[in-house]
Amino acid sequence: MSSETSPPAPLKEQTRNEAETPSSRLARFPAEAPLELDSGARLGPWQIAFETYGELNADRSNAVLVCHALTGDQYVASKNPVTGKPGWWELMVGPGKPVDTNHYFVICSNVLGGCLGTTGPATINPATGAPYGLDLPVVTIRDMVRAQARLIDHLGIDTLFAVIGGSMGGMQVLQWAASYPERVFSAVPIAAAARHTSQNIAFHEVGRQAIMADPNWRGGNYIQEGCRPTKGLAVARMAAHVTYMSDESLHQKFGRNLQDRDNLTFGFDADFQIESYLRHQGMTFVDRFDANSYLYVTRAMDYFDLADQFGGTLANAFTGTKTRFCVMSFTSDWLFPTSESRRVVKALNAAAANVSFVEIDSDRGHDSFLLDVPEMFQTIQGFITGTARARGLPAPGEEAGV
């Protein structure tokens, strides 16, 4: 098993091959060590791409796993090799940040089914020598967490100090706490839920149908045929992006303002700024994400129902847990509303878990967890500091044992 990639390829080739040979670190697992999936399939050989930040302490007790959302990646606090943009959560993770890499060893991996180095539909199927496409077994959130647990084993870490993530990342946090309670000292699910609602499944289905309706999708075989369903993927992204914002944030940012014109055109060009913005979001997204991966990862979210794994009672998922929880929601998030977070908190209370809950006042919708929301940073920093004391770790600005 290897844990490092070969030297980076030239930029053009590197961008093209990020799905197979990512710029990040890479752990490969042979066919003799397959990943058992919820579907009953055995995936092997397989690989998982990841980045790390900070230093692991001597007793390996300061590791923090950050779980990314639907279209995120392992580059949580470093430059994305495809887009060249800064890490997607550099506001949260880094030296002196709430998840302080001067004190904690941060791990972030690309999810199973993703497109930046972890086995997904764009990686090579060893049975055919071609990209998996739709031959990849359908994966679940629990499968993603199983893959992460294998990575944590590979890194020689027994217990994680914290698992933290928002949206789909928060789903992974809850799954970690349910599947491996003895390995998770603290858990921070943000803007998440223990299940995907029918409304959320509906939005995902619109996106998937847009992709599959694109003539260039070619039944999922577009890579082999030298084309890409960019129009369908762009529409899927546009539809999803609307759900990440609130009506108030859309109104404040765009209102009914016209785009580079004084009057309506009485046509179907982008008359309004919001139209132009969504088109831009769609077209830039296709440069960094694989269409089949979008199908797989949205499906994993749709299938997520933590209570269903435990006899239909959510509290059973946390029976006897010693994990410390900090559950967080945002007032204007209608995609993962506070009611879903309260459902998790109620189940944790029923299981007599150690849990704190905060609903943060924000008018920026579901995307609030990715934005500059001071109360969120203060809450997480306070929770992590208190948890570090309970763990016997020196928190930022403190000496060990204080």
- Say what the pTM is: 0.94
DSSP E strands in 186-268: the ranges are: 186-190
Indicate if 333 belongs to the active site.
Answer: yes
Whether the upstream peptide bond of residue 22 has omega within 30° of 0, thus cis, is no
Q: Helix %, strand %, coil % for the chain, to 5?
A: 40, 15, 45
Answer yes or no: are the C-beta atoms of 132 and 123 closer than 8 Å.
yes
Q: Which of 68, 103, 196, 366 is catalytic?
A: 366
Question: What pLDDT, on the 0 to 100 scale, is given for residue 51?
Answer: 98
Polymer length in residues for the chain: 402
CA angle 273, 275, 276 (to 5 degrees): 65
Q: How far is CA 27 from CA 153, 165, 181, 187, 246, in A?
A: 11, 22, 24, 24, 39
Cβ atoms < 10 Å from Cβ of 32:
7
Cβ atoms < 10 Å from Cβ of 347:
22
Question: What pLDDT, on the 0 to 100 scale, is given for residue 399?
Answer: 53
Answer yes or no: are the C-beta atoms of 284 and 238 closer than 8 Å.
no
Count CA atoms within 13 Å of residue 175 on its CB side.
29
What phi and psi values does residue 216 have, to the nearest 5 degrees? Answer: -85, 0
Instruction: Give the sheet arrangement for strand 25-29, strand by strand.
Output: 25-29, 46-53, 105-109, 63-67, 162-166, 186-190, 324-330, 354-360
CA distance between the termini of the chain: 41
Q: Which of 73, 143, 290, 333 is catalytic?
A: 333
Answer yes or no: are the C-beta atoms of 159 and 61 closer than 8 Å.
yes
Distance CA 218, CA 228 (A): 9
Question: What pLDDT, on the 0 to 100 scale, is given for residue 3?
Answer: 41
Mean pLDDT by 10 residues, the chain (402 residues): 38 60 97 98 98 98 98 97 96 97 97 98 96 98 98 98 98 98 98 97 98 98 96 96 89 84 87 86 93 98 98 98 98 98 98 98 96 97 96 76 41
Q: Which of 167, 249, 329, 341 is catalytic?
A: 167
Strand partners, 162: 64
